[in-house]
Structure 1
């Protein structure tokens, strides 16, 4: 009987020790996850604050837009361009792809969309800030600025809206620049950021995955030749019709978006 009691005590002690180790491991994992989440948010906030603080910015970009066919084949549409801005109310953006070669200029009062290949342009009065223009282009004119999320003054708040999961994935290298790699999950999309390490935490790559769309297509923008402040060359943000382009209504401007007109937009899952 005494031997049995000793065995029971030994078994109980062993079980409790294993349980304690398991609980410690779970606690350590949760603690590490919390630390990673806090670090990721801190890094994203630092990028947001840095970008917002820059009065002048210029960079080159490359985008990839995935399109899924009815047969579940993924097609990748690629384009490149440039962005120059002078806060609060001046911006120039170009995009050149297989279906579009367009330049947008905004001088604080008038936005001009210039289709270079067709040599036509349209102008819309939209006095206000760059932030106001971005909203107008997206919501009313349906001509979003590439990487517009990154140009808003409240980048962090906009990106963190509806986020349910945050991960710090360590380091990655984009275009030779070492970056912090962060991953986020929201209700409708997953998104990732690669942010340059150091005193100038600018965004190097931004990838969005549409979870609610069949096959989860992605949109990505990769940034290079980032410049800010005094490194940015002075730019003229007014439209100069140097090619005798014809002025037309916006509806007749033709393909100026990343998704060409003959691509039909389908439904979600």
Structure 2
């Protein structure tokens, strides 16, 4: 017990010196500047979304996918899990969401940049893009707004890549980020912890196969419906379980 207590005390005493804070902020700034400067990029990801049940059990939903981006306003991304297989395409004027399991797709007109798309999907359709806040030109301002504590935790290794490990605290959330060391400081892992929900569930995303410029893959942003695919409205989308954010056997608290 004494040894365990010592470990806990050591963990709680991670220093937050101003020099370390300045280094952490500089590393985060360097990452966001590097990412926003990439005209073309692509990567694969593995994501974990934690949910808390009504009896306070914490469960994890795992998914994988890919993202391809061509600034200022074209993106293709996919996400596959045990209950959904989705692909989305934005060509600067139209957003398309394809549900491969149900072979249906929804299209809505959205004109503008990636930033416009991300805001509209999040605010109007409640469909945030994976790790989108790391890809936008305003990423540094968004990530650091309201930060109350900053820690530089030294080095860590993610997927075989040595990274700088940073931790930040805001009023309602904590987040950690692991940034690849060297001349390609891309985000290797990003973890968000909600402190306002019981048992503090997390969302985490781990990035792999990071490519930029002419090496970026998936740079086709036109949508061609698969054979037999049916167009649906946004209202109908809500009724198709295989296109939801949760498996069909999960029921949100307060819903029938």
- Asked if Structure 1 and Structure 2 have the same fold, meaning a TM-score greater than 0.5 normalized by the shorter chain, the answer is yes
* Unpaired segments ≥5 residues, structure 2: 1-12
Q: What are the within-5 Å matches in structure 2 for residues 1-269 of structure 1?
A: 33-233=17-217, 235-253=219-237, 254=240, 255-260=242-247, 263-266=250-253
Alignment partner of 1:157: what SS?
helix
Give the conservation status (yes or no) of the 8 Å contact 2:150–2:168: yes
SS at match of 1:163: coil
Q: Secondary structure at the match of 2:217?
A: coil
- How many matched pairs? 239
Change (3 A) 1:137 1:262: farther
Structure 1, residues 186-223: CA drift from partner, whole Å, max 9, x if none? 00100000000000000000000000100000000000
Output one character per residue of 1:71-103: Cα deviation in whole Å (capped at 9) or x when no partner: 111110000000001000100010001221100
Q: Which runs of 5+ in 1 are unaligned?
A: 1-28
Contact 1:57–1:227 at 8 Å: present in 2 too?
Answer: yes
Structure-2 separation of matches of 1:136 and 1:96: 22
Q: If you compute each CA radius of gyration, which structure gives the higher value, 1 or 2?
A: 1
Distance 1:234 1:83 in 2: 8
CA RMSD of aligned residues (A): 1.8
- Please state which structure has a larger fraction of its residues in helix: 1
Find the residue that maps to 2:60 and give its secondary structure. Answer: strand
User: Which secondary structure state, in structure 2, belongs to the residue aligned with residue 158 of structure 1?
Assistant: helix
1:146, CA displacement in angstroms? 0.8
Q: 2:244 and 2:26 mapped to 1: Cα distance?
A: 34
Deviation at residue 70 of structure 1 after TM alignment:
1.4
CA distance in 1, matches of 2:79, 2:160: 24
